[in-house]
Chains A and B, each alone.
Chain A
Amino acid sequence: MSLLEIKNLYVEVDNHEILKGIDLRVNAGEMHSIMGPNGSGKSTLAQVLARRESYNVTRGEVSYDGKDLLAMKPEEAACEGIFMAFQYPVEIPGISNAYFLRSALNAIRRHRGLDEVDAMDFLPMFREKLKLLDMDEKLMNRSVNEDFSGGEKKRNEILQMAVLEPKLAILDETDSGLDIDALRIVAKGVNSMRSPERAIVVVTHYQRLLNYIVPDFVHVLVNGRIVRSGGPELALELEEKGYGSMEAGARQPAPA
């Protein structure tokens, strides 16, 4: 059984059909990359998997770990082990990063029948993760993402992933807007999370990130459909030829 199995998924946002029949299987231990031009539906797919309610699934099914993902609320999906790193992490004034992360961790731990972590034990528990992402501990006392630089926000997403230890992580354009140093740090964080029990789906526009995070599978999403799937070499082909060649293919019905 695959960890994630998407079958013939159609999704509308504001009465526009964005996803037009997605099929995808992701097994534990695998790293997948979903690539595509702007507006192809990459982020929509990520948001649907994180259970954003304003996205309307009109057809298809998604099973996650043998359960119906589409019946879950966002918090239920998170507690079941799904994590999405946001393309645009949200600023929340008035809630400290540490408090937020501890609340999230404890919600998930409660769901798994584990003891909650108190404020004293919390920071020491993941000091190494902060170090891995080259993050200053002081950031933890600041409001969530407030006045963080672009790079700090993205690293904060990866830190959350590292602390919450999901089974399925979806990274939505985590690379965009990062300079090369920040990109390396983020990639290091992501690579450290690879494990046989965990699947990672990297949504990206550019091939650049894939120089640092090497996926097992690459899927090309164009106009709401996966038009090609292949190994890591597909990303290189894209780099060379661009999406143009694939877009031509997109006018044909998607391969069954």
Chain B
Amino acid sequence: MRKQETKNVITELETYLESFSEFEKRAAGRNLPWLRSLREDAFARFCQVGFPTTHDEDWRFTNVSAIARTPFRLARNGFARVSQKELGPWRVAGVACQLVFVNGRFSRELSSMGNLPVGMKVNGLGKEIAGNPTEIEPHLGRYVDTQRDAFCALNTAFTEDGAYVHIRKGAVVEGPIYLLFISSAENSPSMSHPRNLIVAEEDSQAIIVEDYVSLDPGPAFCNTVTELVAGDRAVVAHYMIEREHREAFNISTLRIEQGRSASVTSHSVLLGGGLVRNNVHPVLMGEGGECLINGLFVGNGRQHLDNYMLVEHASPRCDSRQFYNGILDGNAHGVFHGRIIVHKDAQKTDAKQTNRNLLLSDEAQIDTKPQLEIYADDVKCTHGATIGQIEEDALFYLRSRGIDEVSARKLLLFAFATECLDRMKQGLVRKHIEGLINHSLFQVANTRAEARANSRKDEGRSWEEMG
């Protein structure tokens, strides 16, 4: 049998070549041989591998040809256009610090650095590459897979700026470190490749929030990679919030390297964006590590929200938990792909995976796929998935007590989403996210009520059909 084509020829190769050669000439750290070869190797690999197609098992349910066909150019900085006032709605009070990135580029002027506690450092990655490369070199690009993963390769090729967070051994940072990524298309297809490096040394604790927003509509492609290193016994909570414009493409990869008895929680909340792919890839390197991957995705219209998890158990006695809830309305398409690899020596692994989905319309779609690869013999792995609708009985019960239909629907949706919220620690970030979810669900409940009242309109083509 002829091998099926699993990669897209990069139709816009010219554009990428041009962008890359321009980029190489002016990029921060261009004189550092290790960084230069990291970028060059990654770019070469990107050109070889090409964008994935749906024949690639990892991309079976997500068609990225809309990204492949679009001639994206590196976004201009655009700082000048963004005023403090415009940032108002995105500010979050009470955080340890809020770093602002415009099209992937750190803006100290727009950031509020707060009173940072002793033992931690936050900065733009570009500034650290220029001023402090020896601290960056041991980690940058050491964890993500640039060989197989085209998007990680592309990000690495264009790695220049993003957030650098360093928590020193034993330091406990209680306030959230808030990273706000603003994308702006400026009327022409533009791309940015934010690259974040988070190093939490032994026995340290930190809370990191990545929040992706758009300043304006337009075809913006944000391809972000975060490498998170959690040293032995470190406790790190990572939050990813996607609430970009509906025309935005967002591909994100969170690669977590966990030491012995480290505990990492990853919370993904996908509410916005047009075509979104969120990769979460922890590797439990040290014995006794714990990893919780918690997610909620709420889609309507033509949104495509893909959640891809690859959990690697590389050491004995590690626990991993994946819990994802999806709410899909309109023509939205959700994907849950939960892959667990238990390596040969990872005995006493305890891995669990649960995906629950609510489909609110006939056109909404979910693909859910567990994939367990177990090479050790003494392990516990379970997985489960459910797909359902809002129960009419529950709806009637609430209404029969006087609660109007929209509120009743909202209550039931919120109850479903609460399962995910409950896995987040009480505090500022959870409150903030609760507000965002509430807002999204209220819109969903309203449109649902309207959809029932009016006859259904054609909401247009899905991303699949556009491919």
Given the interface pairs A92-B415, A94-B416, A94-B419, the reply to whether A164 lies near B393 with Cβ below 8 Å is no
Q: Which residues of chain B are within 8 angstroms of A107 by Cβ–Cβ distance?
A: 401-404, 407
A38: interface (CB < 8 Å): no
A59 to B418, CA, bound (A): 43
Interface set, chain B 349-397, CB cutoff 8 A to A: 391-394, 396-397
Q: Which residues of chain B are within 8 angstroms of A75 by Cβ–Cβ distance?
A: 399-400, 402-405, 408
Number of B positions contacting A (CB below 8 A): 23
Q: Are B400 and A84 in contact (CB under 8 A)?
A: yes
Q: Which residues of chain B are within 8 angstroms of A84 by Cβ–Cβ distance?
A: 400
A227 to chain B, nearest CB (A): 28
Given the interface pairs A94-B416, A107-B407, the reply to whether A164 lies near B399 with Cβ below 8 Å is no
A104: interface (CB < 8 Å): yes
B325 to chain A, nearest CB (A): 10
Interface set, chain A 161-179, CB cutoff 8 A to B: 164
A51: interface (CB < 8 Å): yes
Binary CB contact string for chain A from 53 to 87 against chain B (1 if under 8 A, 0 otherwise): 11000000000000000000111011100011010
Q: Which residues of chain B are within 8 angstroms of A243 by Cβ–Cβ distance?
A: none
Q: Are A90 and B402 in contact (CB under 8 A)?
A: no
A100: interface (CB < 8 Å): yes
A94 to B392, CA, bound (A): 16
Binary CB contact string for chain B from 318 to 335 against chain A (1 if under 8 A, 0 otherwise): 000000000000000000
Given the interface pairs A52-B396, A74-B396, A89-B397, the reply to whether A95 lies near B403 with Cβ below 8 Å is no
Binary CB contact string for chain B from 397 to 436 against chain A (1 if under 8 A, 0 otherwise): 1111111110110011011101100000000000000000
A77 to B405, CA, bound (A): 13
A165 to chain B, nearest CB (A): 12
Q: Which residues of chain A are within 8 angstroms of B416 by Cβ–Cβ distance?
A: 94
Binary CB contact string for chain A from 97 to 136 against chain B (1 if under 8 A, 0 otherwise): 0001101110110010000000000000000000000000
Q: Which residues of chain A are within 8 angstroms of B408 by Cβ–Cβ distance?
A: 75
Given the interface pairs A75-B399, A78-B399, A103-B411, the reply to whether A92 lies near B404 with Cβ below 8 Å is no
B183 to chain A, nearest CB (A): 33
Q: Are B415 and A78 in contact (CB under 8 A)?
A: no
A160: interface (CB < 8 Å): yes
Interface set, chain B 16-35, CB cutoff 8 A to A: none
A96 to chain B, nearest CB (A): 9
Q: Which residues of chain B are within 8 angstroms of A83 by Cβ–Cβ distance?
A: 400-401
A39: interface (CB < 8 Å): no
A148 to B412, CA, bound (A): 19
A4: interface (CB < 8 Å): no
A93: interface (CB < 8 Å): yes
Q: Which residues of chain B are within 8 angstroms of A51 by Cβ–Cβ distance?
A: 400
Given the interface pairs A90-B393, A107-B407, the reply to whether A74 lies near B400 with Cβ below 8 Å is yes
Partner of B405, one of A73, A90, A103, A108: A73
Looking across the interface, which residue of chain A has its beta carbon closest to that of B393? A90
Q: Are A103 and B412 in contact (CB under 8 A)?
A: no
Q: Are A164 and B402 in contact (CB under 8 A)?
A: yes
A95 to B411, CA, bound (A): 7
B400 to chain A, nearest CB (A): 5
A106 to chain B, nearest CB (A): 9
Looking across the interface, which residue of chain B has its beta carbon closest to that of A51? B400
Interface set, chain A 21-60, CB cutoff 8 A to B: 50-54
Q: Are A92 and B394 in contact (CB under 8 A)?
A: yes
Given the interface pairs A73-B405, A107-B407, the reply to whether A94 lies near B418 with Cβ below 8 Å is yes
Given the interface pairs A52-B396, A78-B399, A160-B401, the reply to whether A103 lies near B407 with Cβ below 8 Å is yes
Q: Are B419 and A104 in contact (CB under 8 A)?
A: no
A232 to chain B, nearest CB (A): 29
A73 to B401, CA, bound (A): 11
**Most chain B Cβ neighbours within 10 Å, of A73, A74, A79:** A74
Interface set, chain B 117-165, CB cutoff 8 A to A: none
A248 to chain B, nearest CB (A): 36
Q: Are B402 and A95 in contact (CB under 8 A)?
A: no
Q: Which residues of chain B are within 8 angstroms of A143 by Cβ–Cβ distance?
A: 415
A52 to B392, CA, bound (A): 10
Q: Are B397 and A92 in contact (CB under 8 A)?
A: yes
Looking across the interface, which residue of chain A has its beta carbon closest to that of B415? A94
Q: Apart from A54-B392, A75-B405, A95-B412, what 14 extra A-B contacts exist at CB < 8 Å?
A: A74-B399, A75-B400, A75-B403, A90-B391, A90-B396, A92-B394, A94-B414, A94-B419, A95-B414, A100-B398, A103-B411, A108-B402, A160-B401, A164-B402
- A contacts, CB < 8 Å to B: 50-54, 73-75, 77-79, 83-84, 86, 89-90, 92-95, 100-101, 103-105, 107-108, 111, 143, 160, 164
**Can you list 6 A-B contacts with CB-CB less than 8 angstroms, sorted by A residue number?**
A52-B396, A84-B400, A94-B414, A94-B415, A101-B401, A107-B401
- B contacts, CB < 8 Å to A: 391-394, 396-405, 407-408, 411-412, 414-416, 418-419
